Amino acid sequence: MSDKPNRTETITSRERVYKTIRHEKADRMPIDLGVHFSTGISAFAYYNLRKYLGLDVDNIELIDIGQCLARVDDDIIERFHVDTILLNPRWIKPKKWNPRGDYVFDIPEGMNPVLQPNGAYKSHEAIMPAGGFFFDGWHGDVQPMSEDERLEAYAKRAEYIHKETDKFTMMMGFWSFFGDLDYACDMLTDPDKCKEGNQNHLNWQIEYFDKINRMFGKYIGAIEVNGDLGTQSGCMCTPDSYYDVCYPYLKKFCDHVHNTSDIKIFLHSCGAISDVLDHVADAGVDILNPVQISARGMDPVILKEKYGKKLCFWGGGCDTQNVLWSKTPAEVAAHVRENVHILGKDGGLVFNQVHNVMGNVPPENVIAMLNTAWETAWDF
């Protein structure tokens, strides 16, 4: 356990994150929980955490209805020294949903989970199995709004975060010009069609970014580009096909963002993606998430050696597949300490677990992970 004699914060949370992304020395390592829909916590685990800590559980908001993620509240942000906050506005007309037991969540008015005879829930086309922790499938539009209405709500929220808090926030919802396994096959069989589609999407995405940048770009620190390139054992496409079909459009988009704003590029891409990280870094990506250290070729020591000066690691702090849900709190703490000391050496790490904290993770383990992140945050 770290025993630093002086743990005095000398800069704001927002500047701490900015410095870390820029690979500059900060007063401590930043900590994230819930700024993104792949850095958050299941509403079920969040309920259990709040109850364990003796906190109110009456208004837990389900902010990602598919993954059933909770909005991380201010008291948890303060308790665990979190430096980030979710940009997404609250639901306009929330209602209560009791999936089972004592769990009660705030959901949008347009979401209507119906209990099935087999104990599952069905919401539009999405299914949550009996005893499950998330839905699989499409929910439909649970809060219909025009693009302008939606972005106006985001702009108000962004301005509030910037002026009334010191937290870092970001905008999700951009594409990284790679689809899925079927898309990887198309890259080999019909690369020209993929390139045409990528060019069309690039044109639209630049216009969309410019609109966001005009409206509230000065209030946000990053935008997320999304596209899972990896499986557990390897990348879905070859480095050559990625460079030919995806890289040029990602680079053009990153260049545009960097040339017209101070906003950073946050890539969310799960799996074993080490084979294409050279291209990802060269394209202009600033931040890598979730840093899936349990996948092939994603050893944190090697990642830090090869990409520690090129990419800010946002994740990799705790293995959610093999450790967080199943080990003792002491084992979780030791695991976190080891990963932080590897990935955080000389800066460049925003602490977060690998992807979301799942619904079956004991609150003691969540506490051990976040407490250890805070304890080791001063070790550099």
pLDDT in tens for each of the 380 residues of the chain? 444 457 899 999 999 999 999 999 999 999 999 999 999 999 999 999 999 999 999 999 999 999 999 999 999 999 999 999 999 999 999 999 999 999 999 999 999 999 999 999 999 999 999 999 999 999 889 999 999 999 999 999 999 999 999 999 999 999 999 999 999 999 999 999 999 999 999 999 999 999 999 999 999 999 999 999 999 999 999 999 999 999 999 999 999 999 999 999 999 999 999 999 999 999 999 999 999 999 999 999 999 999 999 999 999 999 999 999 999 999 999 999 999 999 999 999 999 999 999 999 999 999 999 999 999 999 98
Indicate whether 109 belongs to any domain.
Answer: no
Indicate whether 78 belongs to any domain.
Answer: no
The 3-state secondary structure of the chain, one letter per residue: CCCCCCCCCCCCHHHHHHHHHCCCCCCCCCECCCCCCCCCEEHHHHHHHHHHCCCCCCCCEEEECCCCEECCCHHHHHHCCCCECCCCCCCCCEEEEEEECCEEEEEECCCCCEECCCCCEEECCEEECCCCCCCECCCCCCCCCCHHHHHHHHHHHHHHHHHHCCCECEEEEEECCCCCHHHHHHHHHCHHHHHHHHHHHHHHHHHHHHHHHHHHHHHCCEEEEECCCECCCCECCCHHHHHHHCHHHHHHHHHHHHHHCCCEEEEECCCCCHHHHHHHHHHCCCEEECCCCCCCCCCHHHHHHHHCCCCEEECCCCCCCCCCCCCCHHHHHHHHHHHHHHHCCCCCEEECCCCCECCCCCHHHHHHHHHHHHHHCCCC
Indicate whether 366 belongs to any domain.
Answer: yes
Indicate whether 69 belongs to any domain.
Answer: no
**Residue range(s) defining the domain that contains residue 240:** 13-39+83-88+145-376
Indicate whether 269 belongs to any domain.
Answer: yes
How many structural domains is the chain composed of?
1
CATH, residue 271:
3.20.20.210
Q: What is the pTM of this model?
A: 0.97
